[in-house]
Structures are given as C-alpha cells and as structure tokens.
Structure 1
Amino acid sequence: MSAWVARFAPLVPKSAPVLDLACGSGRHLRHFRACGHAVAGVDIELQGVADLAGTEGVEIVQADIEAGPWPFAGRRFAGIVVANYLHRPLLPVIVEALAPGGVLIYETFAQGNQRFGRPSTPAYLLKAGELLEAVAGRLQVVAYEHGEVASPRAGVVQRLCAVADRTPVPALDGSPEPHPLPAP
C-alpha cells in the first residue's frame, strides 16, 4: 500500500463508497474494504482482483477508461484513489465523480522520472503543478508534493490529497444535489 494513500485514507468519511481507479492488484481497494468501506475498482485487466469477484461490498468493473465511456456516469464517491496512473482527459471526470466532502488521493509519476526508468513518455508524466491545476477552484488541497522519492523505488512523483466542498452543488437544471452529504 502506498504510504501517501495510507496517510490520507482516514480522511474518507467512514463506511462511504471509495473508487480505486486503475486498481491493478487492488492494494488500495483491499485496504479501504478492510476499513469497512464499500469499494469499486476499475481496470482494463482484472486478474489482480479476480479473487474479490462476488465479495459483498466490492464492485469490480472491467473497462477501458481511456477509450470507452466512463463506467460510473452519474455516480459519486466519498473517496477516489489513483496511484501510478495518468490519463489527462479523465482528470475533470475524476473531480466530478467526487461527492461533496469526498477525498481525492492521487499519486503518480512526474516529469523527471525519465532518468529513473519507466514511465518515461511525457504522456504518462505530470507537469509541475498539474494536479494542483486539475483541482483549482473545485477542491480544497490538503497536501501536495512534487519531487524525487527513494522508495518504494526511485522516481519523481507528484502527490495530492484534496477534499470536495461539503456544499451541495446544484444540478445543471437548478435542482438540489441528489446525493446526501456524507457524515462528518
């Protein structure tokens, strides 16, 4: 489990639903489930989480979130975790999928990582301040880091933890937000 995710996981409202985006082996999905959260995980390949299929409180979705439709349209999550994954067109979708009072915990590679190995393609490396720009005016930043790390392996990463305003956002038609606010 990522130390960054572990550090901010307690901010996610208790028992509220959590999405692990590009869940891979499900390390964060498993952690939040063990903490009593209903969890959803999405990835293009599900062999790393196949053992969780059919588990109560666990939703596993196989989807190509880069080429296909967003599989959680209209849903909101109290926590969204993204680790070691970047597809820029999804950044606004991720922010929109966060429920009022919800927590976004994001950690992935940044420019400069090329000298440490993969990923090295600019499409998979965040620019300086890019996560901050993605949430500016939409989420309250709790913590942000950008720099070299030595573990779990040497690299350059960018990390963000941000919280959505608890004020319900009106729908485009002016009706009140249909989702209840999570308990403090």
Structure 2
Amino acid sequence: MPHDNVPANPLPPGRPGIAVTPHGGGPPSAWVQRFAPLIRSRGDVLDFACGAGRHARWLAAHGWRVEAVDRDAESLGALAGVPGVQVRQAELGQGAWPYRGRQFDAVVVTNYLFRAHFELLLELVTPGGVLIYETFMAGNERFGKPSNPAFLLAPNELLRRVHDGWTVVAFEQGVIAGERPAAIQRICALKGVGVQFTLPPAA
C-alpha cells in the first residue's frame, strides 16, 4: 500500500483549533491554515467547490491569487469584488471538465468528494505544488450528513489516491468531537517525489 509509513492516526477528541464547518461558511479550516505556507508566495490557488468562499477569502487576504469555483451562483455572489479572488461558476460533477490544460500552485478542496474527477483534480497541481484536501469519511453517518457513501471517503482512501509522483506531508483521519462531531480525513501533499519541505507547526 502506498505510504504505509505515513501515520493514519485517529484525531484526539477536542483537539484545539480543529473544526469541520458547514460547506462554505464560518472560519477557514485549521488544516488549510496550517499548510498554506507551503504554497509558493503569491502563487495561484484554486479553491475547488468553494461554497461561500471562506478559504478563498482567507488565502487572498494572505497574498495568494485565488480562483474560486463552484456550481452555486448565489454562493459565488458573496465573493464578488473580493480583492485577489476571481470567481467562476461551473458544473463540477457534470459535463465537460472546466479546467483542462490548467494548472495551479495549489489546489484546496474541503467538504467535497466526486471520485470520478479525482485524477483530474490531481492533474491541476503544478510540479512542486500543493494539494490540501479535507472532507468527510465513512463513519460520519453516525453524526448526520453527509451520510451517502458516495460522499464519504473510505479509510485511508486519500493515501491510496495520492500516491505515485507525490510527497505526502501529512495525513490524518478520525472523529472530531465537539459541538459538531464528524468523521473526517485530510491530506497535504506536494507534487513530485522526494520534494523537500519544512513541516509547518501544528495549531
């Protein structure tokens, strides 16, 4: 199995600074904030399935050029005029792939899963670029939605999918306790084998 040496530790209950937020709303993910420093300074970032744009706003405020894409025009409307953010409305799970031939210094995906396009997502990351991915996994049905297996990662699935040609920086999976408990899985990886990096400190 790829990356067997990467620990897949369950998340300790009540871990500070960690929260799963309804898609698009609330503060940015602590996972995104922790690993964003690995993105090239003032680089181009794709916030894929951005919802209301909590990560697009945060990334742009910290100097990155952000393209925020979602299918929902109303959500994208909240990003209109935000400095450093370019919005794009597109059907992400249907029709022609809207990003053929494009690449970004980083791709950020949270609370979204469409397996049929996963390999296409990986192709969007430029060599040496960063993938930051965080979403729900099997077991989340105990806590509410999403509960459909189509939208829940299997155990270790991100490790299996982000394998050849990538350097895994960090991987976690498990249950987060608190006001909004959830079963989640998340990864940060650099495109390329043996890419050197400095591990950002945990929150």
**TM-score in same-fold range (> 0.5):** yes
Greater RCO between the two (CA within 8 Å, min separation 6)? 2
Deviations 1:148-171 (A, max 9, x none): 01257201000000001289xxxx
Confirm or deny that 1:14 pairs with 2:33: no
Runs of 4+ in 1 over 6 A off after TM superposition: none
Give the TM-score of the pair, scaled to structure 1.
0.86
Range with bigger deviation, 47-56 or 10-19: 47-56
SS in 2 for 1:127: coil
Confirm or deny that 1:140 pairs with 2:182: no
Return the letter of the residue paired with 2:159: L
Give the TM-score of the pair, scaled to structure 2.
0.78
What's the counterpart of residue 42 of structure 1?
69
What's the counterpart of residue 162 of structure 1?
189
Matches within 5 A, 1:99-138: 99-138=126-165
Return the letter of the residue paired with 1:9: A
Q: How many residues get paired?
A: 167
What's the counterpart of residue 20 of structure 2?
none
Deviations 1:40-67 (A, max 9, x none): 0111103223143355532211111100
What's the counterpart of residue 180 of structure 2?
153
Return the letter of the residue paired with 1:34: A
Give how far 1:135 is off: 1.0
Q: Unaligned stretches of 5+ in structure 1?
A: 168-184
Matches within 5 A, 1:67-82: 67-82=94-109
Return the letter of the residue paired with 1:119: P
CA separation of 1:51 and 1:116: change in aligned 2, threshold 3 A: closer
What's the counterpart of residue 88 of structure 2?
61
Kept in 1: contact 2:133–2:186 (CA 8 A): yes
Kept in 2: contact 1:101–1:166 (CA 8 A): no
Return the letter of the residue paired with 1:49: L
Kept in 2: contact 1:22–1:43 (CA 8 A): yes
Equivalents in 1 of 2:110, 2:101: separation in Å?
Answer: 23
RMSD: 1.7
CA separation of 1:147 and 1:55: change in aligned 2, threshold 3 A: closer
* Percent of pairs with identical residues: 48
CA separation of 1:166 and 1:111: change in aligned 2, threshold 3 A: closer
Equivalents in 2 of 1:58, 1:115: separation in Å?
Answer: 36
Equivalents in 2 of 1:141, 1:67: separation in Å?
Answer: 29
CA separation of 1:146 and 1:48: change in aligned 2, threshold 3 A: same
Equivalents in 2 of 1:86, 1:74: separation in Å?
Answer: 21
